[in-house]
Structure 1
Amino acid sequence: MSTLGMIHMVFGLVALAAGTAVVLTRKGNRGHRTLGHVYLTTMVGLNITGLFIYNLFGHFGPFHWLAVASLLTLIAGLVPVFTRRPKGRWLEWHAAFISGSYVGLVAATAAEITSRIPGTADSFGLVVGLTSALIMAIGGYLIQRYTPKSISRIPARFRRDAQVS
């Protein structure tokens, strides 16, 4: 594995750990924000290093576009925090986009693992596509089901003007 590949993998593992901790711990407090900063920093590092890895196709390919999409999802999750917009719903937007970012990370990790199972090289696209689609479907369902409950548990002093639907 190249040095860049190793750095990419370390960013990914730390992002997975930090993202899992964010999902499993109480929201809105200092610990949440600290873990969120670790998640954000490592996701940016993961995506930027990913943009410079060309081993698979030799050129800018579909996984590079997914790295760009991942960066956009992170930005979309942060803008509501800094702007407190849309008014009354910023927290829901933050939670939805950052949760989507995490689900994408889990899907990419699962696809990376399943694509390395012996005998799957001939059906690489199918294995990666099905694995990612399954994780994204499950993650989307869980986000829809649990995000409103999670937001409602955040103390009002952290929510400011956010409403829970």
Structure 2
Amino acid sequence: MSTLSLSLHPDCPWNCTLDDPDDFILYDVRTVVKMQTNYTFIRNAGDQVIATIRWRDVLPDMIMLTEGSFVSVNSWLTRSLVPFNFNIKFKDDSGRGYTWRGNAPGLSLRLFADEDPTTPIAQYYKSYRDWQTNPPRRVPSRFEIKPRAQEIFDLVVISFLCLEKGRRAK
């Protein structure tokens, strides 16, 4: 397995598709309003809903993974109690730990496995305008997922989308 590079089309974590380099849609993310509440549905390539996020204004968003029940996003993606530490942790079904670093304005989100805290297994690169070309062009965002992260592909994508939605909503 090699590193997989996904693109967000359009560059909006609550209404987009995540496409591979061949433009095959691996994930579809759609937000709808139901009874005055926003719900974001994340579907895999098989069109199965793998997560549902219920937006909340004051309290943390709620998330339901696959066929579970809604829980607070903060109980799944735990934040450090240390001030100015922007790391977010979660565990997979096997109990292995992962840490998202860079969950703050101006930083780039990178995911690390606890067994190797020096090498990122997934990384998000924001879109930007390339002023070196004439006329300037927009370079699309990309989300690189290494083979180690592909073992928990759905969890990586879901956690990334939750964090990026939160970062942009602020």
- Give the TM-score normalised by the residue count of structure 1: 0.21
| Higher RCO (C-alpha 8 Å, min separation 6) | 1
Which has a greater percent of strand?
Answer: 2
Q: Which has the larger radius of gyration?
A: 1
- Give the TM-score normalised by the residue count of structure 2: 0.21
Which has a greater percent of helix?
Answer: 1
